[in-house]
Amino acid sequence: MIVLDDLDKKALDLFRGFVVKKDLVGIIKGGANVPAFVLEFLLANTTSTEDEQKLQEGMENVKTILRNHYVNPEESSLIQSKLREKGRYKIIDKISVELDPQRDRYWANISNSNIKKANISDDLVTAHEKLLLGGIWAIIEMEYDPMITIGATVFPFVVKDIKPIQLSNFDNTRVIEKRAEFTKDEWKTLLLRSAGYEPSSEGFNDRILDLLLCRLIPLVEANFNMVELGPRSSGKSYIYKEITPYAILISGGQGTVAQLFVNNTTGRVGAVGLWDAICFDESTDKLFKDRDAIPLMKDYMESGSFSRAKGGEITGSASVILNGNINQPVETVLQTSHLFSPLSDEVNSDTAFLDRINLYLPGWEISKFSPQNFTKHFGFSTDFFSEILKSQRKTTYYEAIDKYFTLGSHLKQRDSKSVRKIVSGMIKLLHPDGNYTKEDVREYLVLAMEMRRRVKEQLKRIGGMEFWDTNFSYIDKETQEEIFVGLPEEKGSALIEANPLSPGVCYSATSDGSNNTLIKIEVVVLKGNGKISVTGTNSQEIKEDIKNTYNYLRANEKSILHEKHSLSNFDLNVQISNLMGTTSGGGIGSAVFVAILSAIYKKNLKGGLAILGNISIGGAVERALYFADKISLLSENGAKIILAPMDNLMEISTLPPAILGKTDVPFYANSQMLLQKSVFGE
């Protein structure tokens, strides 16, 4: 019994013949490994009805077509036998083509039919270039001719014709005209149902529905780059695998230069020129098979073009999606690293690559799907739906925000470009007729700023000062009010304690100009005979800092320590912890100095304290290298006071006002000033 809601009835009334009841796909599909868009292509004309009898008849018709022509892999021998007996036979299967340069010809491979090296004409390959890039699902007319031989080998299978499983023509006028018949919420629900989701099901809310909608932006925006990391079974790759014939899913580590960009032998343009979206699945393991694909991908993600020596500049419009699993709670990742760290080692610290990401979708907010999350209502058939999405790539709403809002000063060119593309994508999805309001734009602008700011915040964690400007805001032109947009996961992620630090605990940072590391120093003092041990680090520079600091203290203990606190009466254990980043460089001697004295005298240090610089064996305070990078790292992770050598005073002007607004940076000239400014209550 069909149970329809008002939206089902409206969709049937306005788009009859182009909508299907989405749960029919699962009923018919059974164990067959056939994409949803193949089934819905067959279902759309026969089951776009509320009449129970006609719907059942339509389903039986589709089942008959599948039974007679769709090839399950275990039936491959039977299909080959039927083809031999009948001489000509139509099948529904996935077909791909490869070039045989030794014989200067193409061979077709029919996936489920297990037919290798089928004859295919150059004209068919030229007409359907995607055959060379992973293949397409199609209704394939096959022939069997045992007289075709090469040498002593018979190649009897022949591909005579191909009908790709997608609409032969499409006119977006109907969608534009009928959009006005739906409210914004109704249209949003229809879109999500068309993608297979049920917006009203338990576990979904407005926030999650917006995130699910974001997965469609690469299909309506050309040259759009997106990352989504989240748990398994949350549908990250489903959109690009099942609901559109215009996207290709590439398994981790399989992307080659020839497949993605251009084949230097043939000059044939690769996937970026032939698909609307390229989704790298399992991108936490590996992305590319060829190492030289990375610089080409950087160029392409930046400008939609790339250069090869033989072919000059080549352009493409494919969007790039990187999907992968994140196996730890996001809070844990933020405590120890950054949100790009789960990605493949090829790119997870390459700031030039990562800065080209327009949108970072927080997939960890989308839980694993349950059966109830998949709709049983009507939605656009996937072939019609994919054409709606594709048709929107020809338009743009890049300037839509300018009528109502101004972007804040912290957004750089790439930030602005990303935000505008996201807003444009949301308008295309929800307002294909171009009718939207100021509040619609505001809603999409806030979402867009969050999605791009997530990229920038992680770049700041990796790359320091270059990416410091993350206080994204927009200004309402009517009221001149400036509104700042934050990130949900950044709240409470400070690594440096705000309360007074326990005796022996202090924070510092190291840097070599490229890698920045947040360091926690913990000193434990025990009665002993003057031994010192260092644990937690293999860095010779840090060990040298600790050794020099300790030797300075021993040489000057009469003026620094009370007589009963002689270092010869204690054993010191200095533990170094890398809270973020990989140890590189030194410059923590002053922090060690204060940590040792606070441990000996059992004095708390000021809350949120961090210290930069070294004290030489002779007592001279040494300037901190990479001052701005270290200050930004410490401030971003909770430091409220950062003591710095007086020799760095002139560099205070290099710090953004946002840092100085939340972190105090006093300077010290000698060890006595250092102690006075460090101890809690002093």
Per residue, the 3-state secondary structure of 304-341, as one string, reads CEEEECCCEEEECCCEEEEEEECCCCHHHHHHHCCCCC
**DSSP E strand boundaries for 463-593:** 473-476, 482-484, 505-511, 516-527, 532-535, 570-580
For the domain spanning 505-678, the CATH number is 3.30.230.10
Binned at pLDDT 50, 70 and 90, residue 367 comes out as confident
For 215-228, the DSSP string reads TTHHHHSTT-EEEE
Strands 667-668 and 641-645 come out as: parallel
Query: What ranges in 266-319 are assigned the alpha helix state H?
Result: 271-274, 293-303
pLDDT reported for residue 200: 93
Q: What share of the chain is helix, strand, coil (3-state, %, to 5)?
A: 40, 25, 35
Chain segment 78-127, per-residue pLDDT in tens: 999 999 999 999 999 999 999 999 999 999 999 999 999 999 999 999 98
pLDDT reported for residue 47: 67
Chain segment 578-609, per-residue pLDDT in tens: 887 766 788 999 999 999 999 988 889 999 99
Chain segment 178-203, per-residue pLDDT in tens: 999 999 999 999 999 999 999 999 98
pLDDT at 75 over 60: yes
Chain segment 440-453, per-residue pLDDT in tens: 999 999 999 999 99
pLDDT at 269 over 90: no
**DSSP E strand boundaries for 22-100:** 88-100
Cα–Cα distance, 672 to 670 (Å, whole number) = 6
In this prediction, residues 533-559 reach a mean pLDDT of 89
Query: For residue 387, with 0-12 CB atoms within 10 Å meaning exposed, 13-18 middle and 19 or more buried, which class applies?
Result: buried
